[in-house]
Structure 1
Amino acid sequence: MANQLRGNDLRQLGFPEGRAIGLALAQLQRKHLKRLSQTDQLALLQALIRNPHNFLTDLDWSHTAAALLPPPSRHIALAERKEYVTFGAEYIDPSAVHQMEVAMKLPVTVGGALMPDAHHGYGLPIGGVLATDNAVIPYAVGVDIGCRMALSIFALPPQYLTQRVQELKNILLANTKFGNRDVFRHGQKLGHEVLERDEFSTIPFLRNKQETAAAQIGTSGSGNHFVEFGFVEITDPANEMGVPVGQYLGLLSHSGSRGLGASVAQHYTKLAKDTCQLPAEAQHLAWLSLDSEAGQEYWAAMNLAGDYASACHHQIHQRIARALGERPLAKVENHHNFAWKERLADGREVIVHRKGATPAGKGVLGVIPGSMTAPGFIVRGRGVAESLASASHGAGRLMSRTRAKQELGEADVRRHLQQHGVELIGGGVDEAPQAYKDIFSVMESQHDLVNVLGTFTPKIVRMDGA
């Protein structure tokens, strides 16, 4: 373990007096950085001071880098921070809280809420909910626009899963594709009306995106995206799905708008940054006015990407239902990483951004997943105004991907999965169950926000990778 660096060590490297020194020293106390040798710590800080721009999107060093840069010669000033509500504060990393504090200083911000699964993201933290006045923030929606949960419940008993493990694994392998290169061939593709939408021709930026969208439709991304079989247990007899209390075979998928959504996010974020110059710590929160042409374009493109994400899930579930020879008893699905026009309790229309947060309006159904070895929850929203009618979108990360790769071994992860009776196809240690927060604690923190109708327990999980 390195000897602890002090402020004078950083001043000798060229750090200016002020906030950057305190931020850097605080970061070096994080477990995975504290283990570095002093030589490695100094080399890292030298690279940071030499070119802060290279670290503006770094998970560990973005705030320090921003503090090292001079303020832009012309920028929109931040306002006094508005109040917001936090659920499950004890489970939220300080860096996510800091990001939310910055978001609440935007001149266009009207209200906000931080969900118990919150963790560090770009701009708005993942798990952040932000209401704005006539403005949309591409990075408060997120890169994977319309990322989504979809659950199908089949009238098959739980023992169907335990008795046909290999058959169900083969169904997943044959009917799901993950990542950028693995797509369905022409003979296997299913058409969808979303590919014929006018936006592909009327929005200039989208005119060359239709081909990629057509190639990737019905597929899933990498990272934390999955398609999995598991047990559904319905516990609320008054559920709106019309499914009797009991246990069933379930199919749960999580993915978004693929390359289409990512390209929309990147393009319109750059446009927003060019036209809305904010201080460095808030630069990823640049917005587009919905009165502007760019804002209207982004809004239309975002909605197209959200519908495309939904179409991808419908095709996944359609293929697998056909392979099972079954029609689902019920389906539940919901977006996150999206923005909606909604009205506050006082009647004001606002743009509600839910970046990694589940819509939980009164009577709205959704799915909040846990991890590979912990159940997810089928929920009904209660429409709580303080949360902007939102809930968490999952358990939330306890470890960053980098930290998970550093601290967790593949053999340990496989052993953990085996102990819980989970079969994993693909995946990596960065998505290990140990890298996620305790879903039961998260759900307890938001028990006022949703009613639980049932659970989904994963048993056969398919993710990107061999």
Structure 2
Amino acid sequence: MEKPITGTDLLALGYTESTILGIALKIANSAYSAQAKDVVLPLFKKVKDYPENFLDDEVLEPLATAMIEEANAPKDEIIPLIENAQPYSIFGESHIEPGAKAQMDIAMKLPVTVAGALMPDAHQGYGLPIGGVLATKNAIIPYGVGVDIGCRMALSVYDIPEHHFYENEAKYKRELIAHTKFGAGHGYHGQHKADHGVLDSPDFNLNRFVKNLHDKAWSQLGTSGGGNHFVEFGIIEFEQADEVLGIQKGRYLALLTHSGSRGFGATIAGHYTRLAKDLCKLPKEAANLAYLDLNSQEGQEYWIAMNLAGDYASACHQVIHDKMAKAIGAQVLAKVENHHNFAWKEILNGEEVIVHRKGATPAGKGVMGIIPGSMTAPGFLVRGRGEASAINSASHGAGRQMSRTQAIKSITKADMRQVLKDHGVSLIGAGRDEAPMAYKDIDMVMAAQTGLVDVVAKFTPKIVRMADDGSRED
């Protein structure tokens, strides 16, 4: 052979830049060095096209075997992210930690992402940041919904004037303790179990996995989780009458609750997150954003289970509110409820999308919502403005400015007692990780979203009950 076979020669035959090319070059320029190119190249073309025909060839067998092994090797299952992702809206950006923005940046690179927004209470979480809103095309992200599926706020405004609360504060504290139960794993047993129509939902028969959670759901019905979940009495002030709610101007006693789907929802979240990660391989930095196609069996199962967990979370609040109204002999003038840690089918820019709100309040035009502050800071009853750039969303609270560990290290019990005393708040349970100082300034957060919601009334906490066992949200 006058000239050696080159990589260019083999690439022209359809070989690619790989270890196979190196093997082919080595064989061609050793075993066939004495033969002309116009004889050798057609032979190597045949090996490339039909390697199985050369498995018994004493010279070409190594090349043929390598080709077949490469063809049968598992394909790279990693789904690539989109590098030039579209921008997203950020509200209150100067008060949002870099970690939350970095997580949102990654979420925007998913191939199923349509749009995103970051609320002013945003902080770093798992997968989608808390305070993150993400619209996707026909895909559901279990960690985009969150562990505590359907976590929500519920507010009952009573026909009880402010002065009656102060005159009977001990009674209200007693009833709050008697009719609430908190913490991971805590529930009711036997005759103390609550009842609600949600327990009869046919969706509990979705599959064996969900069916096996029915008893857990029943025992924890009407209870609240750990972490930042609470039940509290407070005074709500309407500076003017609200015709939609039918409330006159004034200051009323109100009950505000924050909790989710308890161990039932957490178990669903864990199961389907693992399933999504098995089916949807994403780069390491995006692994917690694994999604399920809504056209798949797994996607449909999660969608049904998620909605069941949302209904169950709502039922938990209803049981608490019904018990409390009966215990204090109150008439409910108005009740408002909204959830976060959920996904909805909505229309955005003329197309149906799946909107994930992980720690964000629905704020479509005219939609009522509740945005709490902290155990001493006020919360706000709001009405959505339907801002498209926020994907019809708003913050779900003040948002943490300290991690739980930071709060425990830097806030003393004396500090916490003093701030509670200064604000006239009676606290039952809770640890320093939930101290008011661990949260952002709610007024700052509200100022950053004046274009997203209108304030209807202001709620001031007075008696707050939270988990006292150090448990986290479950």
Q: Using the alignment, how far apart are the partners of 1:241 and 1:367 within structure 2?
A: 14
Q: Using the alignment, how far apart are the partners of 1:419 and 1:457 within structure 2?
A: 13
Q: Is the 8 A contact 1:390 1:449 kept in 2?
A: yes
What SS is found at the alignment partner of 2:451? coil
Shift of 1:179: 1.2
What SS is found at the alignment partner of 1:145? coil
Aligned match of 1:352: 355
Q: Using the alignment, how far apart are the partners of 2:206 and 2:315 within structure 1?
A: 21
The CA deviation string for residues 246-286 of structure 1, in whole angstroms up to 9 with x for no partner, is 10001000000001110011000000000111111100000
Shift of 1:403: 0.7
Counterpart check, 1:290 vs 2:294: yes
- 1:310 is aligned, of 291, 311, 314, to 314
Shift of 1:73: 5.1
Q: Which runs of 5+ in 1 are unaligned?
A: 1-71
Q: Using the alignment, how far apart are the partners of 2:298 and 2:311 within structure 1?
A: 20
Aligned amino acid, residue 189 of structure 1:
K
The CA deviation string for residues 393-419 of structure 1, in whole angstroms up to 9 with x for no partner, is 000001011110111111210111011
Shift of 1:119: 0.2
- 2:104 is aligned, of 93, 100, 107, to 100
Counterpart check, 1:377 vs 2:380: yes
What SS is found at the alignment partner of 2:311? helix
Shift of 1:426: 0.3
Aligned match of 1:23: none
Aligned amino acid, residue 378 of structure 2:
P
What SS is found at the alignment partner of 1:195? helix
Q: Is the 8 A contact 1:81 1:104 kept in 2?
A: yes
Q: Using the alignment, how far apart are the partners of 1:123 and 1:350 within structure 2?
A: 19
Q: Using the alignment, how far apart are the partners of 1:108 and 1:228 within structure 2?
A: 40
Q: Using the alignment, how far apart are the partners of 1:389 and 1:115 within structure 2?
A: 11
Q: Is the 8 A contact 2:138 2:353 kept in 1?
A: yes
Aligned amino acid, residue 364 of structure 2:
G
Q: Using the alignment, how far apart are the partners of 1:238 and 1:427 within structure 2?
A: 34
- 1:148 is aligned, of 143, 152, 156, to 152
Shift of 1:182: 3.3
Q: Given the superposition, is the C-alpha separation of residues 181 and 282 from structure 1 closer, same or farther in structure 2, using an over 3 Å criterion?
A: closer
- 2:277 is aligned, of 273, 276, 293, to 273
The CA deviation string for residues 278-297 of structure 1, in whole angstroms up to 9 with x for no partner, is 11110000000000000000
Q: Using the alignment, how far apart are the partners of 1:455 and 1:249 within structure 2?
A: 12
Shift of 1:85: 0.2
Shift of 1:201: 1.5
Q: Is the 8 A contact 2:176 2:324 kept in 1?
A: yes
CA RMSD of aligned residues (A): 1.2
- 2:173 is aligned, of 164, 169, 173, to 169
Aligned match of 1:132: 136
Aligned amino acid, residue 315 of structure 1:
V
Aligned amino acid, residue 464 of structure 1:
A
- 1:74 is aligned, of 77, 99, 102, to 77
Shift of 1:372: 1.1
Counterpart check, 1:427 vs 2:403: no
What SS is found at the alignment partner of 1:451? strand
Q: Is the 8 A contact 2:185 2:263 kept in 1?
A: no
Q: Is the 8 A contact 2:145 2:357 kept in 1?
A: yes
Aligned match of 1:212: 216
- 1:395 is aligned, of 390, 393, 398, to 398
Aligned amino acid, residue 165 of structure 1:
E
Aligned match of 2:452: 449
Aligned match of 2:191: 187
What SS is found at the alignment partner of 2:188? coil
Greater mean alpha carbon deviation, residues 121-130 or residues 412-421: 412-421
Q: Using the alignment, how far apart are the partners of 1:249 and 1:336 within structure 2?
A: 25
The CA deviation string for residues 327-363 of structure 1, in whole angstroms up to 9 with x for no partner, is 210001100000000001x211000000000000001
- 1:240 is aligned, of 237, 244, 247, to 244
- 1:115 is aligned, of 92, 103, 119, to 119
Counterpart check, 1:329 vs 2:333: yes
Q: Using the alignment, how far apart are the partners of 1:311 and 1:250 within structure 2?
A: 19
Aligned amino acid, residue 413 of structure 2:
E
Counterpart check, 1:255 vs 2:259: yes
TM-score by length of 1: 0.83
What SS is found at the alignment partner of 2:285? helix
What SS is found at the alignment partner of 1:105? coil
Q: Using the alignment, how far apart are the partners of 2:445 and 2:234 within structure 1?
A: 21
Q: Using the alignment, how far apart are the partners of 2:186 and 2:282 within structure 1?
A: 39
Q: Where in structure 2 are the equivalents of 1:411-422 lying within 5 Å?
A: 411-422=414-425
Q: Using the alignment, how far apart are the partners of 2:238 and 2:251 within structure 1?
A: 6
Aligned match of 1:27: none
Q: Is the 8 A contact 1:236 1:452 kept in 2?
A: no
What SS is found at the alignment partner of 1:391? strand
TM-score by length of 2: 0.82
Q: Using the alignment, how far apart are the partners of 2:455 and 2:209 within structure 1?
A: 42
Q: Using the alignment, how far apart are the partners of 1:428 and 1:183 within structure 2?
A: 21
Q: Is the 8 A contact 2:193 2:218 kept in 1?
A: no
What SS is found at the alignment partner of 2:332? coil
Q: Which runs of 5+ in 2 are unaligned?
A: 1-74, 470-474
Counterpart check, 1:438 vs 2:441: yes
State which structure, 1 or 2, has the greater radius of gyration over its C-alpha atoms.
2
Q: Using the alignment, how far apart are the partners of 2:239 and 2:294 within structure 1?
A: 43
Q: Is the 8 A contact 1:239 1:453 kept in 2?
A: no
Aligned amino acid, residue 425 of structure 2:
V
Aligned amino acid, residue 391 of structure 2:
L
